[in-house]
Amino acid sequence: MATPEEIEALVARVAIGDREAFQSLYATTSAKLFGICLRVLSSRAEAEDALQEVYVKIWRNAGRYRVNGLSPMTWLITVARNHAIDRVRARRGAGADLDAVAEVPDQAPGPEASAIRTSERARLIDCLSELPDGRAMAVRLAYLQGETYAELAARFDVPLNTMRTWLRRSLLTLRECLSR
C-alpha cells in the first residue's frame, strides 16, 4: 500500500483529470476497496458493480476532495463504505442515502490533526473492546452493515428508544476513550 502522502498526491492529480494517476490510484487501492464492498454486500456480483460505481465517483469527486477534512485513504474508504451501505440498504428496503456523506466539505486538517488521528485510529478497536459486548457489536453493525436504529432494536430485541440511548451512550464513551 502506498503512503498517505502518495495517495494524496494521486488523488490531487486525479482531481485535475490525470488518467494515469487514476490508474495508479486504482492499482494501489482497488483491492482494499473491493474487500470492503465484498464484506458489506456479501455478493461478488454486487460488490463488482459497487466497486465500478465507487471508482466512477472517485474520478468525479476527487476535485472536491481537497476541501474534505478526511485523510485521503479515509476518504476513499468512506466513499466505498457509504456506497456499499446504500446498496445493501436498498436491497433490504431501508432508506437513507449516505452517498453525500463522504463529500462533506471541510477545511483540510493541519499536520498535527492528521498525526493525532493516525494514533487515534489505531485505538478504536481497543476502545470498542471497553464497551459491553452487544454495544460494540451494534456500532460495528451500523458501520459495516448499515443497520438502522430500527433494525438494531429488532436484532437486540429492545425498544427503539432504548437502542438509541445505548448507542448514543456508546458513542460518547468511545469518543471519550479515543480522546484520552
Partner 1 sequence: MSGDTDPQDDRVLAGEYALGLLSPEEARAFEARMATDPALRQAYAGWAEDLAALTDDMEEVAPPADMLDRVDATLFEPPQRRSLLQRLGLAWIIPGAVLASLLVFFVVSNDLLVPDRGAPALQAEVAAQDDSLRVLAAFDPDSGTLRVTRDAGGAAPGRSLELWLIAGQAAPVSLGVLPDTRQGVLPVASDVAAKLPGATLAISDEPPGGSPTGAPTGDVLATGQVPRRDA
* Total residues interacting with partner 1, rule: CB under 8 A: 66
Using only C-alpha atoms, the chain has a radius of gyration, in whole angstroms, of 17
C-alpha grid cell, residue 119:
494514533
C-alpha grid cell, residue 127:
476502545
DSSP string, 53-67: HHHHHHHHHHHHHTT
Binding residue for partner 1, selected from 100, 112, 133, 159, defined by CB under 8 A: 100
* Shortest CB 16 distance to partner 1, Å: 5
Helix and strand numbers (H, E) in the chain are 8, 0
If binding is defined by CB under 8 A, does position 7 make contact with partner 1? no
Q: Considering only residues 71 through 90, tell me which ones interact with partner 1, judged by CB under 8 A.
A: 71, 73-74, 77-78, 81-82, 85
Question: Angle between the 19-41 and 133-145 helix axes, to the nearest 10 degrees?
Answer: 130
Helix, strand, coil percentages for the chain (3-state, nearest 5): 80, 0, 20
* Shortest CB 12 distance to partner 1, Å: 12
Binding residues for partner 1, per CB under 8 A? 16-20, 23, 26, 30-32, 34-36, 38-39, 48, 51-52, 55-56, 59-60, 69-71, 73-74, 77-78, 81-82, 85, 95-98, 100-102, 104-107, 109, 113, 117, 120-122, 124-125, 139-140, 142-144, 146, 148-149, 167-168, 171-172, 174-175, 178
